[in-house]
Amino acid sequence: DTGVSQDPRHKITKRGQNVTFRCDPISEHNRLYWYRQTLGQGPEFLTYFQNEAQLEKSRLLSDRFSAERPKGSFSTLEIQRTEQGDSAMYLCASSLMMGDSPLHFGNGTRLTVT
Amino acid sequence: QQPVQSPQAVILREGEDAVINCSSSKALYSVHWYRQKHGEAPVFLMILLKGGEQKGHEKISASFNEKKQQSSLYLTASQLSYSGTYFCGTSSNNNAGNMLTFGGGTRLMVKP
C-alpha cells in the first residue's frame, strides 16, 4: 500500500490558462474521488468514479472542470480557463467499493491562480 | 446540505477531554471522522453506520444517534498529537458511493 499520490504538489498559473492534475489511487481501490478544499473549510465533493465510470458530479461544478479515469487506474482533473476563484487545494481520495470503506486521501495539489 | 460541527475550535491542556459534535438536517446512513494536520491530507479515524453504534479507537471514540442525526467524537486524556482539524463527513444512503459531505471542521489545539 503506497498510498494515494498526486502530482504536482503545487501549481501556480495565470488566469485563463488550463491546468491538469493527476491522481494515482491505491491500486486495489475501485473508487476514486476528487474534492476541493479552501482555507479553513472542509473538503467539498467534486466528482467520483467507480472503475472507469464517472458516476457522480457535483451540481456546483463548472463546465470548465472535467475529470477522466481511463482504464480505471489513475485519474486526471482538468480545469480550463482558470479563474482566481479556482485557487484551492484539490484532494484526491480512493476507497474500496464497500459502503463502509474509508476514504484514503492524497496530499493534494495546491492551485494558485494569479 | 453541509453537516454542522461544534465547537468550531477548542484549546485543551494535555490530558483533558473534548467532545466534537456533528449534526445533519438529513437522515444519515453513515458518518466518517477524519483528522487533518496543517499541510497534510485528512486521515481516517473511524466510520459509524446507521444503527446507533459506538466505536472506539485507542482514546478516541465516537457515537452515532440515528434519531437525532448526530454524531459525537470523544477525545479522552488528550495528547499533543491530537492537535489538528477534525472533520465529519456524512452520507445519506448506502448507494451514495461514499460521496461524503464534510462539515466545516473543528480546530483542536492541545497544549503541554
How far is the C-alpha of A100 from the C-alpha of B26, rounded, in Å? 19
Do B105 and A40 lie within an 8 Å CB cutoff? yes
- 8 Å CB contact of A48 and B99: yes
> B96 falls in which pLDDT band (50, 70, 90)?
low
Alpha carbon of A26 to those of A30, A94, A104, B30: distances in Å? 9, 7, 8, 23
**Tens of pLDDT along B45-82?**
998 887 766 666 678 999 998 888 999 999 999 999 99
Q: Is B8 on the interface with A (CB under 8 A)?
A: no
Identify whether B7 is preceded by a cis peptide bond (ω within 30 of 0): yes
Pairing of strands A109-113, A10-13: parallel
Give per-residue pLDDT as tens, A67-84.
999 988 999 999 999 999
Determine contact: B102 vs chain A, CB below 8 A. yes
Q: Which residues of A touch B87 (CB under 8 A)?
A: 42-43
